[in-house]
Amino acid sequence: MRRSFLTWLAFLTLSLGAIGCTDEGVGDPCIPEAIPCNAEGQDCGYKASESYLETSSVQCRSRLCIVRKLDNGSQGVYPSDPRKLCEDDNEPGCLSESKLEESVYCTCRCGLPKGESGGGQELCGCPDGFTCAEVLTQGGPGVRGSYCVKTATERR
């Protein structure tokens, strides 16, 4: 009787622990739905020096898809479009699969800007291979702050 009670108690503890720790899906693949283009709707993509956050991504459990320093190797001549994967090495401005994986993925908000209180906002913990880094310093209070990004060793 005592053993079955301890087994039940252990099961209950593990179950409640799993409820409190939800998997945010950090690192899952995503492609933003809104990719910036010029006024003519051409030259779509992102600058390699910047980070972008899509806050309504249906591809991510956290609803947050990050594009972090996506670089197609063109030294800024061509914007980096995550929909344009290389099929031919001579194709200007295309991305390799590995560049896409290291720079575009689901994330979660892990920290607030310095000096700001949370106001009840939930923050996540970053899984292995990710670190909590300040990404957005501009924008509304609901998006400014730190997000889980791939660590330097995870980036190729």
Span 49-60, pLDDT tens digits: 999 999 999 999
As a whole-number percent, the residues of the chain with pLDDT over 70 amount to 79
Distance from C-alpha of 73 to C-alpha of 150, rounded to nearest angstrom: 19
Listed by start position, the domains of the chain span 23-150
Distance from C-alpha of 70 to C-alpha of 76, rounded to nearest angstrom: 11
At 98-152, the pLDDT tens digits run: 999 999 999 999 999 877 776 667 899 999 999 999 999 888 888 899 999 999 7
CB-CB contact of 152 with 128 (8 Å): no
Burial of 80 per CB tally in 10 Å (0-12, 13-18, 19+): buried
Distance from C-alpha of 116 to C-alpha of 97, rounded to nearest angstrom: 38
The pLDDT, as a whole number, for residue 91 is 75
